[in-house]
């Protein structure tokens, strides 16, 4: 999503034009919704999410925040966060706020250092040279992984991989941390692992006990996994 304002406008226009006649609505990355009341609520909430991301991103741009800062600040209001079809299983508020930022501001964040950066591999090699002992950095990353600091571990091990693409320990740790970090946000890893404590926290957050507990009971893991596909409804 780049132009959230346009998305919201056209969704509400469609609702105004056809809402009284519609019996079912189809939309990408979702399943059909039947019934006028359901359609009204579904389209209104969807438009509200687009509008919220657009307007809040612009608010923080005007307050001087960078793209990455905004992506880490924005959270949906609880009223929208608990609606199951606006959950962040396909795309996130963070991803979409970055697209909105770049629509209005482009890629430059105002920091002149970023005008002529080294390539990721050149930067990583110099950084690792400063570290001195990459093995020690990797061991520290493993400790941080055990502490649950997955987002940081993905970033530091990604640097190690750019510096030395053949470092398989760094590659595997980066992959493990990334899949754990991204799916932990969506709650899917907890469901696959049948982690009752984490799923209980999800239930408190999302307010949908029946759906989540049934999903956890239905998932069967037949072998050790590192990756799994996210299948949309």
- Per-residue pLDDT, 189: 60
Say if residue 132's pLDDT is above 60: yes
- Per-residue pLDDT, 9: 94
In a domain, 124, yes or no: yes
Alpha carbons 15 and 44: distance in angstroms, whole number: 8
pLDDT digits (tens, 9 = 90+) for 69-101: 999 999 999 888 878 788 776 778 999 999 999
In a domain, 138, yes or no: yes
Q: Give the domain range for residue 164.
A: 114-218
Average pLDDT over residues 125-143: 89
In a domain, 229, yes or no: no
Say if residue 155's pLDDT is above 70: yes
Helix (H, G, I), strand (E, B) or coil at 185: helix
Per the structure, the count of domains in the chain is 2
Are 119 and 214 part of one and the same domain? yes
Are 13 and 44 part of one and the same domain? yes
Are 67 and 20 part of one and the same domain? yes
Three-class secondary structure assignment of 111-134: CHHHHCCCCHHHHHHHHHHHHCCH
In a domain, 228, yes or no: no
Say if residue 225's pLDDT is above 90: no
pLDDT digits (tens, 9 = 90+) for 184-195: 555 566 666 666
């Amino acid at each position: 999503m780049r132009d959230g304002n346009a998305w919201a406008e056209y969704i509400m226009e469609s609702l105004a034009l056809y809402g009284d006649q519609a019996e079912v609505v189809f939309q990408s990355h979702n399943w059909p919704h039947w019934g006028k009341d359901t359609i009204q609520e579904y389209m209104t909430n969807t438009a509200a999410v687009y509008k919220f991301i657009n307007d809040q991103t612009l608010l923080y741009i005007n307050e001087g925040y960078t793209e990455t800062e905004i992506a880490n600040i924005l959270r949906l209001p609880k009223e929208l966060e608990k609606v199951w079809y606006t959950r962040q299983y396909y795309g996130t508020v963070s991803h979409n706020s970055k697209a909105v930022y770049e629509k209005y501001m482009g890629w430059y964040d105002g920091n002149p250092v970023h005008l002529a950066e080294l390539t990721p591999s050149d930067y990583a090699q110099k950084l690792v040279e400063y570290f001195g002992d990459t093995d020690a950095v990797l061991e520290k990353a493993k400790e941080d992984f055990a502490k649950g600091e997955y987002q940081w571990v993905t970033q530091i091990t990604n640097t190690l991989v750019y510096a030395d693409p053949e470092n398989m320990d760094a590659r595997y740790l980066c992959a493990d941390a990334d899949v754990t970090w991204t799916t932990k946000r969506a709650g899917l890893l907890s469901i696959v692992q049948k982690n009752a404590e984490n799923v209980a926290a999800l239930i408190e957050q999302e307010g949908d006990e029946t759906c989540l507990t049934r999903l956890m009971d239905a998932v069967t893991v037949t072998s050790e996994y590192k990756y799994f596909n996210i299948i949309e409804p």
